Each structure stands twice: as structure tokens, then as C-alpha cells.
Chain A
């Protein structure tokens, strides 16, 4: 687990440097005002934390110095000592020594010797006079000439990274438009600039995605305990091997597949692997082998769950698929193994207890499929009867997650990216007027045109919209105000569903030519939801209003 040690070391360093900076600050304050209670409390706390962290990392001397200083600050706080005289010098020397030690840890060097300092700190704690040497004084003076150091690491909330990625996504869309326009206009200078913009935004997108990557180990390392528990409950012997914890993947993807992977692993142990007795009977080693591994394949990340258990009984699954009405007998007979196994991930199929018994697979596997669908990932299955089964999750390295508002029109959901939504309103007919055949409401003293989303979606061609008639407005109108290029437009919808993060998949051919839709997203239920493109909607409205 080299990665985790590395992670701890980096965290330790980042935090230790932060502590060191704070200590120096609070010491200066204490020097100005020896009775500063909050500064004393902080110094005590920081020393305490540094001590605990250093000991956990195995830096004994560093921990000792911090421990002594903690004790000393505790005594000053409890007014058993005063922050004055020789004590000040020793304390400053001590904090300097901490700084040197922390830097030595960062540079992978052996820590400087602290025996003399520790002796002096001991004396102070015991109430004796410290033995001051000139060298210590010198060190202190040199401190002001040393470089200031800031940690190389910053902590950042995933939310902020999500936001950054969303903005980059929008940037890329506009970039593509500018590129197209530049090509149409044909101005060489404009084209060169557009190409430069293209490259920069590409690099930017890559960098932001890179910042969101974490090691797959973050998730895999949760599994030894899971396997142990399920194996114990099933009274099976299982040896778990893991590899590829260092493989990098978007943190949100890991989040989304957590349950899927949990299902696959539980299934592998409780259904895939045989009992010890069954294995011995089959001439297999008593201990079942389970392998969890991650690897990179081109731009994808593969996560594999491999067992050496009983394998999938394809014929049993085939029979069951027919019984369940998922296919008919003559078609079922023509299906190859892969096509048959695909039935295992059908929601209705999964509940079939009998199949679980026969094939060793089936409980809740539709969860796996749904998670992969929502990511645009794939599932591969390999199985040999009696030899074992391997499930491979094929995942994109990164995804663009966008915040969106879901609305309903004619009982269908539509998603509108939050980036283009302004506000939602419930308007009674009195707040709506008709100006030049168009519905208008006033929002912050500004006239905002309204249009039923249904009309924009379903009226064909470029014919002008029929003149609006107030008499058609019955009851409260649900309006989503969208904003594109500072132009606001109110979309009248049937109702608002909710706000949620969505992963947008591009529309595949031949439907990708309809610019009104930025793509589709799969809702948690597996339902398909079209994502509206606000710029295109706005343009369509302007064309049809004429």
C-alpha cells in the first residue's frame, strides 16, 4: 500500500507546515503580549496535534520536541511558568527546530539532532534554568533570513471542482461555435485566434479533469472487510487479492459505482464461490480466490471482479429467460452466451431466486447495469462453467457532471442545465400580458417574453408562433426563466420536478442533428430524459416570434 503511505506523508507535511506557520505567528503575538490567552491555547493545541501526528508517522524526535513544548505551553497557560527570559529563547529555538525537522521530513533527509534542545526543555519543565549556547542564539537570528515556505498542497471541495468542470464544459461548447463561425467568416486572423482558443481550452479541460482524479484504491481498500464479513456469514474461505489501487479515475465516477461494485463482490462471494465442501468435491483448492483489480485501457478504466467459483450456467439462464417472457424459445435458442448472460442484468430477472441457486448469479445485478448506463460505461462478462466468472466494469476516466433543473411537459421530463436558468416563477394570469401577440411578464422592471415550452418543442417548421391569447391561460403558470446572452426567456412548463446533477450523453446518429437537444441523460430510474439546449431554444424562439 505504497500509495496510502505516500498520501499520509503528504497530508502530514502539508499540515505540519501549516502548524509551523501558525506557531510562528502566535509566538510573535505572545512576545508582544505575554498574557495572550487565545494565542497560548492555540500554541498548546498545535503542539498537541503536531506531537500526535509526528508520533503516528514514526518521527519520534519531532514528536518529543512538540510534546515538551506542549507541556511548557500548558504550564504557561496554567500560570506555572511565565513567558519571559531564557524560556522565550528556548521556546523560539524549539519552534525553529520543529521547522527544520519538518523541512527535513519533506526533503527526505535525516532529522537534525535535538538532544541539547530536549535537555533544555526538560530543565524548563522541571523548573531549572536552561543552558544557553551561542549557537542557538545564532540559529534564531538566521531564521529571519530563511525562505518562507508554504505547503505544496491545498485541500479543495469536490463541489468547487464540479463547478469548475461545468464551466469548462460550457467554455468548450462556445469554443466550438466560435471555431465554426471563424471558418464560415474566413478571416485568417480570427481563425488563428480561434485555433489558439481551441488548444488552450483543450488543455484547460484536461487539467481540470486531471485535478479530479483519485486512486481507485480509495474504493478498493474498503473491500477486504466486506469480503471477510460475507465469507464469514456464508461460512466460506476466501482469499482476496487486489491490484491497481494506483489507477486514476474521476472521484465522482467512483462514487457512482460504489454500490455496483459492492453488489458484484457480495455476489461473487455468496453465489459465485462454492462452499469449501463443494470445492473439494470438484477437486479445487479449498480456499476460493477472489481478485479485485483496476487497470487502464486506452482512455478507459477497467475494474474487474474475478472469482474462481462455479461459473454461470448458461443453459439455466437461457431457460429462465424464456420462462420469464424476456424472449421466446426459438430466439433464445439462437442467442450466444454473451446475449444470454445479458439477461442476468434485467431488473425482472434478478429477482429469480431459482436462477441464483442454479447459476450462482442474479441478485440485484440490475443495479450494476443502471450505474454503468448512467456513466456511459459498459459491462463485460466472462465465465467458464466450473472455472469461475469475471465481471469487468468499463468506465470512462472522467465525466462531466452538470447541475440541472428537471421540468415536465406532457408527462415527459426534460433537463435544463442550471448554468442557463435564472429563476422559477408561479404566475397568475393577472401578472401576464400580451404584447404584439407574445406573452410577457415583468420581472425586476424588465419585460420577459413567455412561451409554452410545449409550443417550442412540438410546433413544426419555422412558421411564426400563433398569436398568444390570454384566454388560454388557466390557473397558475409555472415558468422557468432561462438566460442566454443576457436575453431572458420564460418557458411555461407543466411542473417542476427537481434539481439534480446529471451526466450528459451526446445523442447518437441519426438524431444528433437536432440542435434543440444538448444530449440525453438517464435518470436514476433508468428513464431517458432529453437535455434542452437553452441557446438553441432561445434562437428558435426569436426565429418563430418574427
Chain B
């Protein structure tokens, strides 16, 4: 069935745009979290195939959320969402297991390409 995605971003506007792009493309958005605590809770309850994770959140940094996820759900696939100029954080995120990153402002093609590739990675890993 459709791949299930959890969106983590503190901006409602961003979440809506991401959600529209992803659902238009046939993905199922299983949840939208606006902060780190919600993100961890929803990741546990919805066990998504993929999580898009904003780097700056009101209660936590995306990096901290990523580290927690790595412990609680080591198999979850994470794609970071960041703005230009945050390459340092992004690199650290990749070192902590994020599969890829999306740079805001993003285009629909770019988002779908990155998400698709990340999920592909997921599929091959599971088959292997």
C-alpha cells in the first residue's frame, strides 16, 4: 500500500504544503507534529515509513529529536528539512542517521525526488 509519512514542522503553513505535495503524490500522511515531543509520540504511535523532520522546533532541536528516534525506533527513516545556511547541522544529522535533507524553500519535484529516494533506500534495505 501507500507509504506512510509523518511530517514534523512547527509551521502550519509548511506542514500543509508538504502534506499536499506528499498526498498528491500518493503518499499517506499519517500525522503532523508541531514540536519534538509530539514528533516522538506520533512516531511511536503511527510507526511511519518515513519522517520529515524540521531542524528547528519550539521545544527541542531537530537533531535532538533525531537522536531520540535513533534510540526508540532505530529502523525509522528520517529526512531532515532545513533552510540554507544550516549545513553544519545537516551534516551532523546525516552522521546521526538521517537519510537525506530537503532545503527550504523546496520545490515539489525536489521533495518527491528526495522522499522517493529515501523510501527506495528503505525498500532495498528491507529486502537485503
Contact = CB atoms under 8 A, between A and B. Distances in A.
B44 interface: no
B contact patch SS: mixed
B26 A222 contact: yes
Given A51-B83, A52-B14, A222 B24 contact: yes
A408 interface: no
B80 to A, nearest CB: 13
A56 B105 contact: yes
A52 B24 contact: no
B10 interface: yes
A45 B56 contact: yes
Interface in A53-79: 53, 55-56, 71
Contacts of B16: 7-8, 11
Interface in B1-53: 10-14, 16-17, 20, 23-26
B23 A222 contact: yes
Interface in A11-33: 11-12, 14-15
Given A8-B16, A11-B13, A15-B13, A55 B105 contact: yes
Interface string B46-75: 000000000011100000000000000000
A229 B3 CA distance: 13
A294 to B, nearest CB: 17
B110 interface: no
A155 B14 CA distance: 15
Contacts of A52: 11, 14, 83, 104-105
Interface residues of B, number: 20
Contacts of B25: 225
A7 B20 CA distance: 11
A229 to B, nearest CB: 6
A222 B105 CA distance: 22
A319 interface: no
Given A48-B83, A52-B104, A55-B104, A4 B56 contact: no
Interface string A486-502: 00000000000000000
A221 interface: yes
B26 A229 contact: yes
Nearest to A8: B17
Contacts of A37: none
Contacts of A53: 11, 13-14
Given A56-B104, A222-B23, A226-B26, A42 B58 contact: yes
B89 to A, nearest CB: 12
Given A11-B16, A48-B83, A56-B17, A225 B24 contact: yes
Nearest to A227: B26
A122 to B, nearest CB: 15
A409 to B, nearest CB: 36
A49 interface: yes
B14 A56 contact: yes
5 contacts: A15-B13, A45-B56, A52-B11, A52-B14, A229-B26
Given A11-B13, A52-B105, 7 more contacts: A4-B20, A8-B13, A8-B16, A15-B11, A49-B10, A49-B14, A226-B26
Interface of A: 4, 7-8, 11-12, 14-15, 42, 44-45, 48-49, 51-53, 55-56, 71, 155, 221-222, 224-226, 229
What 10 A-B pairs come out closest when comparing CB atoms?
A225-B26, A56-B105, A55-B105, A52-B104, A49-B11, A11-B13, A225-B25, A53-B13, A15-B13, A45-B56
